[in-house]
Amino acid sequence: MDTYAAFASKVSYTIRPRVHEADLGEYRGCVEVIGRESDWTFSFTRFCEVARPSRERAEHDAMRLAQHLRDTECGDGKSWILPGQISQTGEQALLADIPSSLLNPSPGPATGRRGKRHLRVAA
C-alpha cells in the first residue's frame, strides 16, 4: 500500500469483545467487528476456539482475539476496541491501552449492582 492509499482509506472499525455463556458454567469469548466506509457498513464475528469454565478466562481470550483482529484483519483503517462487556478484573496488560471509562465498573461492595449510581447522585 502506498502512502496515498493509506491516507485515502476511510474505513473505520469498531471492535467489541464479548463473552457468551455457552452452557451452564461454560463461557466463550467472541469479537464483533463493524466496519464503516463512506457509503456502506459491514460486520463479522469471530469466536474463540475454546469454551472456558470461568468468565474472567473467557474475557482474556476475547481481548486477545480482539487485539489479534485489530492487528491482522483491521489494519487497513482506523480501529477502536470498545470492551463494554469486559470487566475491570481482566488481565491488566490487555487492558492497559483501554480508557477506564470504557470498561464495565466492578460491582460495588454495598449493593453488588453495576452502573447507574452516578445518575441517582446527579438527580
How is the chain split into domains, by residue range? 8-72
Q: Report pLDDT for 73.
A: 87
The string of pLDDT tens digits covering residues 51-66 is 999 988 998 999 999 9
Q: Which cell goes with 61?
A: 481470550
Length of the chain: 123
Q: What's the whole-model pTM score?
A: 0.64
Instruction: Look at domain 8-72 and name its CATH class.
Output: alpha beta
What does each C-alpha distance from 87 to 2, 53, 105 come to in angstroms? Answer: 39, 16, 7
**pLDDT tens digit sequence for 15-46:** 999 998 888 889 999 999 999 988 889 999 99
Amino acid residing at 47: F
Query: Pick from 22, 28, 30, 11: which is nearest to 83 by CA?
Result: 30
Residue 3: the pLDDT is: 47
